[in-house]
Amino acid sequence: MAAAADGHGGGGGLDPLHQFEIYPILSINIGEYDVSFTNSSLWMVIAAVVSYLIISRGVGAGSLVPTRMQVVAETLYSTVANMVRDNVGDAGKKYFPFVFTLFMFVLFGNLLGMIPYSFTFTSHLAVTFAMAATIFVTITIIGIMRHGLHFFSLFFPAGAPLATAPILIPIEIISYLSRPVSLSVRLFANMMVGHTLLKVLGSFAVMMGAAGILPLGLLVGITALEFLVAALQAYVFTILTCIYLHDAIHLH
Amino acid sequence: MVDDQLDKRLKDLGKRVKSAQAKRAEQTGASGGGRGKPAEGMAVGVRITVEMIAGLAVGVCIGLYADKQLGTAPWLLILGFLLGAGASFANVLRTARELDARQARERQAAIDRASDE
């Protein structure tokens, strides 16, 4: 979010979208494909490492009276464990590691993006859509493996008259296909909008001189809100994964 | 001797935690639940908006692509638009129903916690 601190360009030429720019840190080309290690990849690695450290250090102690780190790790764990239990049921236990990994990755992607000069990889549709598409394909495979062809009864609500099938089935199929779209667009839009807003307000604070204290005050509030949004969107992303998983396992 | 003391302290702590939880449940129950949290309200709004757009977008995209492949423009686009709109409504209804269910569950949980005491 770099916010007001980032004064590049100077004199009203602040570009609120500059923060989303991806640049290669290490250029790698395999054949025709550009697989460079970018700032986006760097922050993904950092997110993975940070979440690994928090969990491993928190669980490592394992004492009865928890250390601070242990409280953090246990809270994160139990949040997701409860979510999976409430939304998927006992059959979902098997998929807990998958859901938990997703939650940690998105949560730390969002939270680390709040550090000035950092990069929020969840503010790119390519990243969120890749995650959503992976979830979508995985869950569809899980559903087909568990139920075989019976899985496709998901596309016809039980109890509807047979005559409505020609309309209902296409609608249900489109609705099912729209899941990865809505899942990815929601996360991407929330992060992108929040960070752009912060930057725009930050540039106001710079340009308005002494009166800039007003947007600066607003910025404090919005920053707090942004932290909330970061955690909440990670939560929503995971809870929707759980709901889709529930549909695939229990077929309504 | 030491164990006895520890036991007593643990019980005391348990009692204090319970009473604090009951008080908390009372307070959150009284405030109407779910209101007054701007970030959460925004999350619900964005969620329903995106749900609406996604269904329509997928329908229209399928229509456009099929038209291009089959050369039947603009009929499949129109069909895709209509079906996409239907899917959007289905999505929104499903989301609303699910949010309602969750809210009811949370309220029930708060009442249960309060009546445990």
B77 touching A, CB under 8 A?
A: no
CB contact under 8 A, B47 and A236: yes
Confidence of residue A5 (pLDDT cuts 50, 70, 90): very low
Check if the beta carbon of residue A24 is closer than 8 Å to that of residue A37. Answer: yes
Q: What is the pLDDT of residues A109-119, one digit of tens each?
A: 999 999 988 89
Check if the beta carbon of residue A47 is closer than 8 Å to that of residue A108. Answer: yes
Please give the pLDDT value at position B115: 76
Nearest of A15, A16, A6, A10 to residue A198 by alpha carbon:
A16
B84 contacts in A (CB within 8 Å)? 174
Q: What is the mean pLDDT of residues A211-231?
A: 88
User: Residues near A163 by Cβ (< 8 Å), separated by ≥ 6?
Assistant: none
Q: What is the pLDDT of residues A45-79, one digit of tens each?
A: 999 999 999 988 888 766 777 788 888 888 999 99
A218 touching B, CB under 8 A?
A: no
Nearest of B49, B83, B81 to residue B64 by alpha carbon:
B81
Q: Is the pLDDT of residue B31 over 70?
A: no
Confidence of residue B66 (pLDDT cuts 50, 70, 90): very high
Q: Looking at the partner chain, which of A177, A182, A232 has a beta carbon nearest the beta carbon of B51?
A: A182
B54 contacts in A (CB within 8 Å)? 178-179, 181-182, 185
Q: Which 3 state secondary structure label does DSSP give A116?
A: coil
Q: What is the pLDDT of residues A132-156, one digit of tens each?
A: 999 999 999 999 999 988 888 888 8
Q: Is the pLDDT of residue A81 over 50?
A: yes
How many Cβ atoms sit within 10 Å of the Cβ of residue A113? Answer: 22
Q: Which 3 state secondary structure label does DSSP give A113?
A: coil
A169 touching B, CB under 8 A?
A: no
SS (H, E, C) A20-68: HCCCEEECCEECCEECCEEHHHHHHHHHHHHHHHHHHHHHHHCCCCCCH
User: What mean pLDDT value characterizes chain A?
Assistant: 86
Q: What is the pTM of this model?
A: 0.79
User: Residues near B53 by Cβ (< 8 Å), separated by ≥ 6?
Assistant: A182, A185, B88
Please give the backbone phi and psi of residue A37, each rounded to the nearest 5 degrees, phi first. -85, 105
Strand A37-38, strand A33-34: pairing: unpaired
How many Å apart are CA A100 and CA A97, to the nearest integer? 5
Tokens encoding A156: 């016809």
Q: Looking at the partner chain, which of A171, A179, A232 has a beta carbon nearest the beta carbon of B86?
A: A171
Confidence of residue A43 (pLDDT cuts 50, 70, 90): very high
CB contact under 8 A, A171 and B50: no
- Mutation for testing the A interface, residue in B13, B37, B51 having most A CBs under 10 Å: B51
CB contact under 8 A, A175 and B55: yes
CB contact under 8 A, A178 and B86: no
Please give the pLDDT value at position A108: 94
What do you get for the CA distance between the two ends of chain B, in Å?
30
B116 touching A, CB under 8 A?
A: no
A172 touching B, CB under 8 A?
A: yes
Confidence of residue B1 (pLDDT cuts 50, 70, 90): low
More confident residue, A252 or B61: B61
Check if the beta carbon of residue A240 is closer than 8 Å to that of residue A180. Answer: no
